Amino acid sequence: MKKKFKPKEWLSTDVAGNVSHSNTPISSKSSVSLQSSISSTTADAVEIIKRIETKQLDITTTYTDWRDIGFAFASEFGEQGRNYFHQISRFYSDYSSSECDKQFDKCLKSNKSGITIKTFFQKAKEAGINIATQAKVSNGNNDVLPTIPQSVYDTLPVFLKDICSVTNTNHEKDILLLGSIVTLSSVVPNVFGVYDNRKVFSNLFLFITAQASAGKGMLNFCSRLVNPINQQLRDESLLLKIQYERDCKEFKKSKNDTIDKPKRPPELMLFIPANNSASGMLQLLHDNNCRGLIFETEGDTLAYAFKSDYGNYSDALRKAFHHEAIRFYRKTDREFIELQNPQLSTVLSGTPKQVINLIPDAENGLFSRFMFYCLEMKSGWKNVFERKSGNSFDEHFDKLGLQYYELFKSLKSSINIEFTLAPNQQDQFHKIFTHWHETYETMLGTEYNATVRRLGLISFRLAMVFSILRIFETSDISNRIVCTDVDFENAIAITELLLSHTQKVFSKLPLTITPQKRENREERFFNALPNTFSRKDYVGIAEKQGIPDKTAQNYIAKFIDKKLIHRDKQDFYSKTVT
């Protein structure tokens, strides 16, 4: 079933006020190449080997460990892994170059399965090595984070192209695009998709992080896209209040005991203030049919609210992201309220320190629900009087806001619309995210898993918003919308960028788990020695631990040099009392 959306006129208006009628066809590109999203782990392995070398740490304390690391290098790098194997093995006290080569030859010839490069990373982590690397998986450069590719901007829905047309700088375009998508995600009525067997809506969370005066202010213009919708709600709310006041006057005049006291009307609005108590925020969500937008350009506003006695509604945000029911009790009216399917979007910006104020550690569930974009500070003075000519940014975004308002009204009056990916897109989605999940789990550990998993849902929602905005070009409102290849590809491309930006923010968060230091073979041997012992005693202990006699003698000599043990007489020793 289709319904024609007829805007007053689809106008493509640039900031100069130029007008053109747009009938831009939806492009059809080839499917996303999985290979383009896959990066080599060689650089990461080399970096971790360097860290092991810096500490001169032996992580091959047992034959099993040594053998498995050989299998890991052979599996991932083939013959190239031989040098890596030598670099790791040489810290073993009885290291032999020829024995190391023999072992690696066996690993290359073996068909043993189940051991991958993840084994090496895991053993390094168990030995106390920090295996986190700085975004090598995504962009190969730790200092410069990527921006959204021009190919994405070339194939965006026309409405989003117009939004981004006011600037030519990459970072400003990125801020406008991401900010607009998330802002609009709060006002897509009657549209849903099925993800992981659950009904989901378009709502997204975004945090733009940058140093002060880096250019985050561009984000403010995005809020103007939904001002007409917010104004409509405020006007309705005002009329309800006027009627409420009239009803209250009539109630006071009336002496009829059977008439109930007028009930206070809901406070209708789209923008829900972040500076709010937990109960106030939930009440506003309830008043607005569980829908709203938190839009704050200072992340501290929300962080300070969370730190107040009655303002921490972090749990409500976490639940709202997945449309989980939120329950609360109003003491004033002695009323239990349940918010079903909350649909809340959030746009924040702030400094890196403000991110930590809001999200204190990497394990905080709020972190993985946000899209993060790191805006880099540029030196130099900006010409504040430079502009293309014609309309100001305010006028440009106000016009676009009125255009979207027409689509919003059509969607609101339509039947429910189901958004879905095409079968081939679903297959590619699964392959891409399987790879990302395995790669980032290897490099950053299980703490980062939640972020990758939720970026899957975020990618699905990005594609949903793109598909809805295509209605401006097709004019068709159907009860089922299948994502085009170009919108799917653009959603994946943006998600890949978000992975690297989010990883940078993740690396700055305080760690809550300190890797447990594992005893190496020398430490285990020393700790097994009794307070007083003979040569026969330590040889027996060494034999049980698989330590050759010669190595045990070297250990004893080293312990004596370090004054850890004392030779009482020939072949008899005692540990130094501390």
Taking the C-alpha atoms of residue 141 and residue 547, their distance in angstroms, rounded to an integer, is: 43
Q: Do the beta carbons of residue 342 and residue 290 sit within 8 Å?
A: yes
What is the 3 state secondary structure string of 520-550? Answer: CHHHHHHHHCCCEEEHHHHHHHHHHCCCCHH
Burial class (CB in 10 A: 0-12, 13-18, 19+), 568: exposed
Q: Which residues of 81-93 are buried (b: 16+ CB within 10 A; e: fewer)?
A: bbebbeebbebbb
* Token pair 């809805």 in the structure block, residue: 468
d(CA 17, CA 336): 52
Nearest by Cα to 28 from 412, 350, 422, 370? 422
**What global pTM score does this model have?**
0.70
Residue 294 is inside which H or E element, if any? Answer: strand 291-296
Reference 131, options 518, 444, 572, 470; nearest CA is 444
Residue partners of 302: CB distance under 8 A and separation at least 6: 274, 275, 294, 296, 348, 358
DSSP state of 365: T
Q: How many CB atoms lie within 10 A of CB 142?
A: 12
Task: Report the relative pairing of strands 417-420 and 480-482 from DSSP bridges.
Answer: parallel
Give the start-to-end residue ranges of the domains of the chain.
Answer: 1-15+137-512, 42-126, 521-575
Q: What is the 3-state secondary structure (H, E, C) of 178-210?
A: HHHHHHHCCCCCCEEEEECCEEECCCCEEEEEC
Residue identified by tokens 């699964």 is: 430
Q: For residues 223 and 246, what is the distance between their CA atoms, to the nearest angstrom?
A: 34
- What's the start-to-end Cα distance of the chain, in Å? 84
pLDDT for 515 equals 45
pLDDT at position 24 is 40
Give dist(CA 320, CA 345) in Å, integer. 9
Residue type, 290: C
| CATH number belonging to the domain at 1-15+137-512, selected among 1.10.155, 3.40.50, 3.10.620, 1.10.10 | 3.40.50
Nearest to 547 by CA among 565, 572, 573, 525: 525
Contact 20, 418 (CB under 8 A): no
Residues 269 and 284: beta-carbon distance below 8 Å: yes
State the amino acid at position 443 in one-letter form: M
Cα–Cα distance measured from residue 144 to residue 541, given in angstroms and rounded to the nearest whole number: 53
Q: Cα(99)–Cα(104) distance, rounded to whole angstroms?
A: 9
Query: What is the pLDDT at residue 19?
Result: 40
Q: Residues, the chain, total?
A: 578
Q: How far is Cα 296 from Cα 302, in angstroms, rounded to an integer?
A: 8
d(CA 65, CA 113): 16
Question: Considering only CA atoms, which of 205, 206, 140, 143 is closest in space to residue 377?
Answer: 143
Per-residue DSSP letter, 290: T
Q: For residue 241, give Cα distances in angstroms to 24, 244, 326, 464, 556.
A: 45, 5, 27, 36, 87
Torsions phi, psi for 553 (to 5 deg): -60, -40
CA distances from 103 to 69, 106, 205 (A): 11, 5, 51
Q: Provide the pLDDT for residue 145.
A: 86
Separation of alpha carbons 546 and 525, rounded Å: 10
Over the chain (578 residues), the average pLDDT of each successive run of 10 is: 60 44 40 42 80 86 87 87 90 87 88 75 82 50 76 96 91 95 97 96 95 77 96 96 92 79 93 90 94 90 77 88 89 80 95 85 84 78 62 91 96 94 96 87 74 95 98 92 97 94 84 53 87 92 90 90 86 80
CATH among 1.10.10, 2.40.50, 1.10.3470, 2.60.40 for 521-575: 1.10.10
